[in-house]
Amino acid sequence: MVLNRWYYQIPVMQPKERQDITRQNVETLFISNDFQDSLARRLAGAVQVPAIAYDDMGLVGEDPRWEVFHQFSDYLTKTFPRVYEALRVETVSTHGLLYTWQGSAQDLKPLLFMAHSDVVPAGESTSLQWTYPPFSGHYDGEFIWGRGSEDDKSNLIAMLTAIESLLVCDFKPHRTVILSVGFDEEGGADRSYGARCLAEVLLERYGKNGIELIFDEGIAGIESRFGTDFALPATAEKGYVDVDVKLSVPGGHSSTPPDHTAIGFQAQIINLIEDNPFQSQLIRQNPTLTFYRQAAVLSKSMPLELRDAILGLKPTKRFLEYMDSDRERRAMVRTSTAITMVQGGDKVNSLPETANLVINHRIALHDSVQAVKEYYSALLRPWAKKRHFNLDAFGVVEKNREDSQTRFDNNNDCGDLTLTAQYELEPSPISDTEDSRFSWLAGVIKGVFGENVVVAPELLTGNTDTRYYWDLSPQIYRWSPWRASHDPRGTRMHTLDERMPIKGLVEMVKFYHEFIRVLDEVQR
């Protein structure tokens, strides 16, 4: 067995200076009922502003649905007057917000926090099923209810409250602290007016790798796995690409159909794709492997057989079989394939001339956008040749019939198959967990949540706004700092009855408060 550094856990890190701040805020203010009620009301007010980002939003300034974001900005200005007085607050791309708390030490790179103000729709068809209306911001003494209460207004309100609490104590940072707030993180994968523009401003201002580290939303809270509490900041994200598959065949009357209509051909292709998934691999750089090695050494109840499979010289076939046996786990080691949109046919008695489907992929760290394209070209080429379909695979054309050949008759299947890709995003760079900056993060987590919490990296299967920030720092962490156990129903983001426990929200404030203080003391 190879155990070496997997035994090692980062020691607790807590602020050493200004213990008066610890006594005033951490030990007194944050545990008071008055503070918790005030904090809950702040998040409730933020939830009550329905800052929804739809997939089909038009340009900012042209689509009136963006106007509500002015209301949200006004709410923050009124709620955090001390922050707006002490920090430089800039508006970027109309609704993006950039807060800069200038530090006194010019040689220290800034600490960058990220959040977003937009939320997903609540869904008209399910609005009556909510325990409380989705934009009511109802607070029942335990939970703040409503869309955005967890994703991601909780992080934003907690960050601003932490900064305000430090301002009240006359804390003056040595290291500059930046908060970058996008407004269209939920609005679709193919463009961004928020985070992209904010990142461009920051890159111009601080230069490549000009930020010490970046912290954004991610996996919700501390989770219990194998009988042990784990904090799992994501140090990498999977890539992304949508593949469009279009079939074109002659139409006609449904009373004399061919053996296969366009929709029938579409069904064949769907079966072919779903029966031939991408292969799972677990490369050394995948943070999932680091997590499982930590868990194998430090968790309380991992089965011995699984421990042995993980801690061998190489991950064994048995370990990959374990990963593949659950769809959540296999997403960590495989490029996922999800057929999410299909279209074909306009009328019941008319043969469809086209059929389309869209396949969404989250690309594993060992794959690439080009690898996904090559997979589809190789998979569908034999099918197209057998069926005499001309194939256009991402611009590479292969003819499988003569121009003079009858396109469609009783004895011959013919048509055109076209593959295109939309929104191509490679897997993210991987932040190094042996870097001292990961140690800072892990130390603060243990200082806030307890030394028995095991901190290990994780892979994020979705994408955050950090995809625009890669050039700003090699150390990017994605995590939402609260205990998931505070809500017995678990995380409810993007679904019915989204809610945030007040205990978790207070933990968020405490984490950001202490993270700022600790990073202000290191490397000085």
Catalytic residues: 118, 185
Yes or no: say if 125 and 199 are a contact pair by the CB < 8 Å rule: no
Per-residue exposure over 432-459, b if at least 16 CB sit within 10 Å of its own CB, e if not:
ebeeebbbbbbbbbbbbbeeebbbbbbb
Q: In whole angstroms, what is the distance from residue 335 CA to residue 188 CA?
A: 20
Spatial neighbors of 99 by CB under 8 A, at least 6 apart, are 83, 87, 88, 89, 160, 163, 178, 179, 180, 181
Q: In whole angstroms, what is the distance from residue 386 CA to residue 401 CA?
A: 10
For the chain, give the longest Cα–Cα distance: 87
- Torsion region of 353: left, alpha or beta (phi above 0 gives left; psi -120 to 50 gives alpha): alpha
Q: In whole angstroms, what is the distance from residue 202 CA to residue 473 CA?
A: 11
Q: In whole angstroms, what is the distance from residue 422 CA to residue 357 CA?
A: 13
Find the DSSP H helices in 131-236: 153-168, 195-206
Pairing between strand 458-460 and 234-237? parallel
Yes or no: say if 113 and 135 are a contact pair by the CB < 8 Å rule: no
Spatial neighbors of 175 by CB under 8 A, at least 6 apart, are 103, 105, 108, 109, 110, 111, 212, 519, 520
CA 15 to chain centre: 30
Q: What angle is formed at CA 455 by the lines to CA 452 and CA 458, rounded to 5 degrees?
A: 150
> Please, what is the end-to-end C-alpha distance for the chain in angstroms?
40
Distances (CA, A) of 147 to 51, 137, 164, 244: 10, 8, 25, 31
Dihedral of CA atoms 127, 128, 131, 132 in degrees, nearest 10, equals 70
How many helices and strands, by DSSP H and E, does the chain display?
14, 20
Q: What are phi and psi of 319, to 5 degrees?
A: -70, -40
User: What is the Cα Rg of the chain in Å?
Assistant: 26
